[in-house]
Structure 1
Amino acid sequence: DGMPKDYGQAIKWYRAAAVQGYAPAQYNLGVMYLEGNGLPKPDLVAAYGLLRPLVEQGNASAITTMKDLSPKMSEAQIQQGQNLAAKIREKNRLNAALDEYEKVASR
């Protein structure tokens, strides 16, 4: 499309929209974590945590993506992803849950 990609800005805006409950933004944010766009490396646990609540809501794109994602993860990673998803499901906790997770994951 000729436009430079600013993944950092994309993450910022997808995250802001996801916090407001906008499912497409939460899905796109999950895919960015899955592919590692704008991040040091892909983060399957964060991707799982973001996509799992959408799967439970019947989001077709999230269901398809999760079918590809889950086999690439260890049992421990899936458990971490489920824990993150549970925190994200709590009302208005997406930002705090991701911040907490990223602090621990970066150690």
Structure 2
Amino acid sequence: MKQLAPFTMILCAVFLLGVVDGHGQLRVSLNLSSRPDPYLSNWAQRKEIVIVSVTNTSSNAIDVKFDCKVNKDGALLANTKRESMQMLSIQPGSTMFYGEDLVPSPQ
């Protein structure tokens, strides 16, 4: 993913897409550093920048994909390509994900 010029404020929206058999089976908590690195390519190397906690309240694993968007002042700056994101299996209980899971390194 290309590097972005430094900016003062960042908003990262994280959505989980996948197969969900019912309502309210996943709870997602996003923790973003108050001063995140402006270069998305560095997010995968520094786990403290963004942490996503996903809690699966069902008794079955749920397959999901992350769909991430980075906005500044309401303008889209970057987003992941859903088709290139790997399918993840969320087991019952809590699972943590970091920048490397949200912003994949270029192949």
Range class of TM-score, shorter chain: under 0.3
What TM-score comes out, normalization by structure 1 length?
0.27
What TM-score comes out, normalization by structure 2 length?
0.27
- More relative contact order in 1 or in 2 (CA 8 Å, sep 6+)? 2
Greater fraction helix: 1
